[in-house]
Amino acid sequence: MTAIGQQVARGVRTPLGTVAGMLGAGALAAISPAVAQAGWWALAGLALAAVVASMTAVSLADLTAASCSQSAYLHVRERLGVVPGRLAGVLGLAGRIVAIGAVANMVTAYVAPTGSAGLLMILPICVAYLCHALGVRLSSSLWRAVAVVLIVTLGVVVAVGLAIAPAEHLTISQSGDIGSSDATGILAAAGLLFFCFAGVDRQSGRGARSAVAAVGIASLGVLLVMIVALRQLGGARLALSPVPLRDTLAAADASALDLVLTIGMAAGGILALYVLVGGAMDFALDMGETGDLPKLGGWLGPVIPLAVAAGGVSIFLSAADAVALAACLVLVSYAFVNSAARSLCRAQRSTRVRTGCCGLALSVIVAVNISVVSLLSAVGVVVVGTLLCTLSARRTDRA
């Protein structure tokens, strides 16, 4: 990787920042779509998503320990070949771009004045990309402060939601309605909730135990928030809510805390966006080094095209559709990573469990069950993206 790549990539390595980024992504974007699929059974979907993320985290940590690279894309390319590496790169990059758009969409829903969300939607994206392009490395103290703001805010929501009894007649869901408890929706809910863990690769350099601990802590936080939101709103209302935590406070007669929630959700959005943008920059820079993407020179590097793509997603896709597509893309990209981890011998693995095999199977099963639309859209993205990367690689070879 070039000096510029090393400067701007690999941005967020603070454990608390990464955990809070996962928690922010889940609280902001993933809860309502998951509950729409399975109701209270979405809690089981969260457990399954955490298992898949933990398997993948261990595979990534073992691959990183076995080589000098921390790049998921390069792991796949080096161990499985150029074409699988290209596919994993397209899936990983596109998944993070779509995830950035989804988070930006939800951030503006919480913090933007009514009617101005469309204009402000791309602002947090541009800020996050420019921070990475300029090599801005936020201090550990600042990261901890932002993470604490998010965690305290979610703690307040959970405490209020548990302390105040819900209006029972408003939380009843009829069987067959959207958001009603349906065990057949567990796999779809798990896929949507895996959106929380799209940035788990940012922990790969800290070892398997640290990565699994980060997944566990983030899962616990999302679990508490989901329980409180389901308790106060019920499955049907939560499934249809564009701002579930704000509606949860309103249902608990705690709308006076709306400003606190807005600040906390802004903090969560900052953390989630910074983690996701860092991941997108990693993929773009690594793919540029190998020729799968054109090398974009100058101090901005790949910032402009990535920011434009993410901004387009935030404008033209709804938050739920973006979450589904991003989760599908990232899950399949991690399936390639787990497949690469299958090549590790026992001495190179940190556990007796064959996380590569298990993670590969679970990633594929969960990804294909999110929705037909997200799966077909992911196939389209892969076909177009791989074609463009192949043309770029051939142009590079000729040069």
Assign domain 3-398 one CATH number from 1.10.10.10, 3.40.50.1100, 3.30.300.20, 1.20.1740.10.
Answer: 1.20.1740.10
- Other C-beta atoms closer than 10 Å to the C-beta of 44 total 16
Domain boundaries, the chain: 3-398
- Report the predicted TM-score, pTM, of the whole model to 2 decimal places: 0.89
Contact call for residues 128 and 274 (beta carbons, < 8 A): yes
The encoded tokens of residue 244 equal 């579930």
The encoded tokens of residue 34 equal 């998951």
Contact call for residues 69 and 340 (beta carbons, < 8 A): no
Residue written as token pair 């790049």: 71
Angle, in degrees to the nearest 10, between helices 42-66 and 208-240: 150
Q: Cα(372)–Cα(350) distance, rounded to whole angstroms?
A: 36
- The string of DSSP codes covering 49-110 is HHHHHHHHHHHHHHHHHHSS---HHHHHHHHH-HHHHHHHHHHHHHHHHHHHHHHHHHHHHH
Q: Cα(234)–Cα(126) distance, rounded to whole angstroms?
A: 36
Contact call for residues 340 and 75 (beta carbons, < 8 A): yes
Q: Cα(97)–Cα(101) distance, rounded to whole angstroms?
A: 6
Looking at this protein, which amino acid is placed at residue 266? A
Looking at this protein, which amino acid is placed at residue 171? T
Strand, coil or helix: what is 222?
A: helix
What is the reported pLDDT for 334? 95
- The string of DSSP codes covering 312-342 is HHHHHS-HHHHHHHHHHHHHHHHHHHHHHHT
Contact call for residues 356 and 342 (beta carbons, < 8 A): yes
Give the helix/strand (H/E) hosting 369: none
Residue written as token pair 């969409």: 105
Q: Cα(146)–Cα(25) distance, rounded to whole angstroms?
A: 14
The pair phi, psi for residue 45, each rounded to 5°, is: -65, -35
What is the reported pLDDT for 392? 83
What is the reported pLDDT for 344? 87
Among 255, 235, 12, smallest CA distance to 138 is for: 12
Contact call for residues 310 and 94 (beta carbons, < 8 A): no
- What does the pLDDT profile of the chain (399 residues) look like in tens digits? 333 334 334 444 456 767 888 888 888 889 999 999 999 999 999 999 999 999 999 999 899 888 877 788 999 999 999 999 999 999 999 999 999 888 888 888 888 755 444 445 566 666 666 666 665 565 667 778 888 899 999 999 999 999 988 876 555 566 667 878 889 999 999 999 999 998 888 776 677 888 888 899 999 999 999 999 999 998 888 998 889 999 999 998 888 999 999 999 888 888 888 888 888 888 888 888 888 888 765 545 666 777 778 878 878 888 899 999 999 999 999 999 999 999 888 888 888 888 899 999 999 999 999 999 999 999 999 999 999 898 888 887 666
Q: Cα(253)–Cα(28) distance, rounded to whole angstroms?
A: 21
Alpha carbon 20 to chain centroid, angstroms: 12
- The string of DSSP codes covering 3-52 is HHHHHHSS----HHHHHHHHHHHIIIIIHHHHHHHHGGGHHHHHHHHHHH
Query: First vs last Cα of the chain: how many Å apart?
Result: 19
Instruction: Tell me the chain's radius of gyration from C-alpha atoms.
Output: 20
